Amino acid sequence: MNVVASTPLWQRLIVLAPAFLIGAGLLIGIFMVLGRALAQNLRESGHPRLVYAGLVALAGAIGLLTYLGVELPRE
């Protein structure tokens, strides 16, 4: 008999709440560090417009390939 599956959802969420909080904190910290690094690189770049254009082109390519339904090969 599976004891975990028989517990109500709210009890499972209470038990998992610390893991969710720690995970959310880690994600926020990682994005803060990466954002600061990106801002620093943009400030030091000799051609920030070129960097912005590259980011926009990358986002556009990802959006177009997603819209067309292109999938990466899986092993």
Dist. CA 59–CA 34, nearest whole Å:
17
Dist. CA 13–CA 20, nearest whole Å:
9
Reported as a pLDDT band with limits 50, 70 and 90, residue 5 is: low
pTM of the predicted model, to two decimals? 0.59
The 3-state secondary structure of the chain reads CCHHHHCCHHHHHHHHHHHHHHHHHHHHHHHHHHHHHHHHHHHHCCCHHHHHHHHHHHHHHHHHHHHHCCCCCCC
Q: What is the pLDDT, as a whole number, of residue 3?
A: 65
Which of the two residues, 52 and 30, has the higher pLDDT score? 30
Res. 17: pLDDT tops 90: yes
pLDDT digits (tens, 9 = 90+) for 60-75: 999 999 999 998 888 7
